[in-house]
Amino acid sequence: MGTQPQSPKHLEDWLRDAHAMEKQAEKMLETQADRLEHYPQLKARIEQHITETRGQVEKIEQCLSLLGTDTSVMKDMGGKLAAFGQGMSGMMASDEVVKGNMASYAFEHFEISSYRALIQAANKVGKPEIARICEEILKEEEAMADWLLQNLDDTTRQFLERSEDDDLRAKT
């Protein structure tokens, strides 16, 4: 009767990685939002994405439950960070909004590729519900990446104008 579904080992590993990635994303976005008082639109969009990111953590836990993984263990692995996220968090911590924006844009694409891989892995082992949940998350990541790209030029110009003003003030 057809082929047996494969073991979901990669799917489970990648869901765990995604869980760590989203926990890292939450921290990075919170750090960034704290420093954006002069960029209200960017701050509001990042705050929206913090809410989405918290929902994504829950969705990934739901996916792991569908695989029969005990997600209470996940809470104990909060310290595990995605290597990429660790590299990015240095840039995120920078109080320069342009560098934070570049890092966020790169990070969203890391997330996009992670969910695309998860969707393939879920379909491969016959877990369409997990694929569907990952598609929901993927749409949020794509929307965030698009928004950041749309706003990158404006944010950069605002930053340059602000730093020019600061230079003028310093001279008087």
Q: Which residues bind Mg ion (CB under 5 A)?
A: 22, 25, 53, 56, 111
Q: Which listed range, 94-102, 108-116, 122-130, 159-167, lies at the site for Fe ion (CB under 5 A)?
A: 108-116
Helices (DSSP H) in 8-82: which residue ranges?
Answer: 9-34, 40-66
Closest approach, Cβ 161 to Fe ion, in A, equals 28
Q: Which residues contact 101 (CB under 8 A, 6 or more apart)?
A: 42, 148, 151, 152, 155, 156
Would you mind telling me the total number of residues written for the chain in this entry? 172
Helices 97-124/83-93 angle, 10° precision: 160
Closest approach, Cβ 144 to Mg ion, in A, equals 8
Question: Is residue 111 a contact residue for Fe ion (CB under 5 A)?
Answer: yes
Q: Which listed range, 75-83, 106-114, 122-130, 150-158, lies at the site for Fe ion (CB under 5 A)?
A: 106-114
Closest approach, Cβ 72 to Fe ion, in A, equals 25
75 vs 72: CA distance, rounded Å:
6
Q: Which is nearer to Fe ion, 8 or 88 (CB)?
A: 88
Closest approach, Cβ 53 to Fe ion, in A, equals 6
Q: Residue 51 has which token pair? A: 């809410």
**Longest distance between any two alpha carbons in the chain, whole Å:** 82
Contacts with Fe ion by CB under 5 A lie at 111, 141
